[in-house]
């Protein structure tokens, strides 16, 4: 049936034919699938969504109000999100939270970064003179252990804490979900670890 709407995805008409071209039909189906995928709502920063038979419901999360803590707003200070790109790769995003009362240089926060699922997303603080000099966000396979602190010649060089994990919902599922680990503001107390004064990233 002809349509007066433009075919922006160039799927072309689907018509009954005596001698159908299978290759052309498959190509149209692939374009149709790409069109459907491009219209999907993916996980992102600042909102939640749920899908049902009647459509998708988008719920905008409340923003931080002055004088209200992250916990009061039901928001994680390092909110973890992910998305799938047009190239079918996956990327994660971590909102910039607060590390104690320190103002430190950050790298990789508030930017989309490639990862391979299932992955642990973690913050890595570079330590200089028992102070955080910079903060990076990184990922690693869930099966690998994460060292909370790293020392070199009796001096601490790094501290780490897991922001969360991104993994399939179940062994049979291909749908990825986020499990958020950091749920409150982050602190950086100095403790004695194996006889070494060390900064330990922990939650309030």
Please give the full DSSP string across 142-193, using - where no structure is assigned. Answer: TTS---SEEEETTEEEEEEEEEEEEEESSTT---EEEEE---S-EE--EEEE
Number of domains in the chain: 2
108 and 176 both lie in a single domain: yes
32 and 113 both lie in a single domain: no
53 and 122 both lie in a single domain: no
Which residue shows structure tokens 């993916």?
42
On whether residue 171 sits in a domain, the answer given is: yes
For residue 199, pLDDT beyond 70 = yes
54 and 116 both lie in a single domain: no
90 and 30 both lie in a single domain: no
On whether residue 2 sits in a domain, the answer given is: no
pLDDT digit string, tens, across residues 82-111: 888 888 889 998 887 755 445 567 777 778
Contact 35, 9 (CB under 8 A): yes
Average confidence score pLDDT of the chain: 78
pLDDT digit string, tens, across residues 179-188: 988 888 888 8
96 and 150 both lie in a single domain: yes
Could you give the angle at the alpha carbon of 116 between the alpha carbons of 177 and 29, nearest 5°?
75
For residue 25, pLDDT beyond 60 = yes
Tally the C-alpha atoms within 13 A of residue 182's C-alpha that lie toward its C-beta.
27
Pairing of strands 90-94, 80-84: antiparallel
72 and 57 both lie in a single domain: no
Q: How far is CA 137 from the centre of its chain?
A: 11
On whether residue 144 sits in a domain, the answer given is: yes
173 and 89 both lie in a single domain: yes
157 and 56 both lie in a single domain: no
Count the neighbouring beta carbons within 10 Å of the beta carbon of residue 201.
24
Q: How far is CA 10 from the centre of its chain?
A: 32
On whether residue 11 sits in a domain, the answer given is: no
For residue 80, pLDDT beyond 80 = yes
User: Which letter does DSSP use for residue 198 in this model?
Assistant: E
Range of the domain at 83: 67-203
Distance CA 83, CA 86 (A): 10
97 and 176 both lie in a single domain: yes
Distance, first Cα to last Cα, the chain: 62
Distance CA 112, CA 85 (A): 10
Distance CA 36, CA 58 (A): 18
On whether residue 9 sits in a domain, the answer given is: no
Residue at which a domain ends, from 61, 83, 117: 61
pTM over 0.85: no
188 and 143 both lie in a single domain: yes
| pLDDT band at residue 21 under the 50/70/90 scheme | confident
86 and 135 both lie in a single domain: yes
On whether residue 10 sits in a domain, the answer given is: no
**Which tokens in the block code for residue 105?**
């240089």
């Amino acid at each position: 049936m002809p349509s007066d709407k433009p075919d922006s995805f160039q799927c072309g008409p689907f018509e009954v034919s005596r001698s159908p071209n299978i290759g052309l039909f498959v190509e149209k189906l692939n374009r149709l699938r790409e069109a459907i995928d491009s219209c999907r709502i993916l996980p992102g920063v600042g909102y939640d969504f749920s899908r049902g038979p009647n459509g998708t419901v988008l719920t905008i999360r409340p923003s931080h109000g002055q004088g209200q803590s992250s916990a009061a707003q039901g928001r994680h200070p390092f909110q973890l999100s992910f998305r799938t790109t047009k190239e079918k790769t996956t990327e994660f995003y971590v909102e910039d939270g607060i590390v104690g009362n320190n103002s430190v240089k950050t790298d990789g926060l508030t930017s989309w970064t490639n990862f391979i699922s299932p992955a642990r997303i973690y913050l890595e603080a570079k330590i200089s003179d028992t102070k955080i000099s910079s903060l990076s966000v990184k990922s690693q396979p869930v099966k690998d252990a994460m060292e909370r602190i790293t020392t070199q010649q009796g001096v601490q060089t790094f501290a780490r804490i897991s922001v969360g994990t991104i993994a399939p919902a179940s062994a049979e599922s291909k749908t990825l979900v986020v499990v958020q680990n950091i749920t409150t503001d982050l602190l950086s107390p100095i403790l004695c670890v194996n006889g070494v004064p060390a900064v330990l990233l922990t939650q309030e």
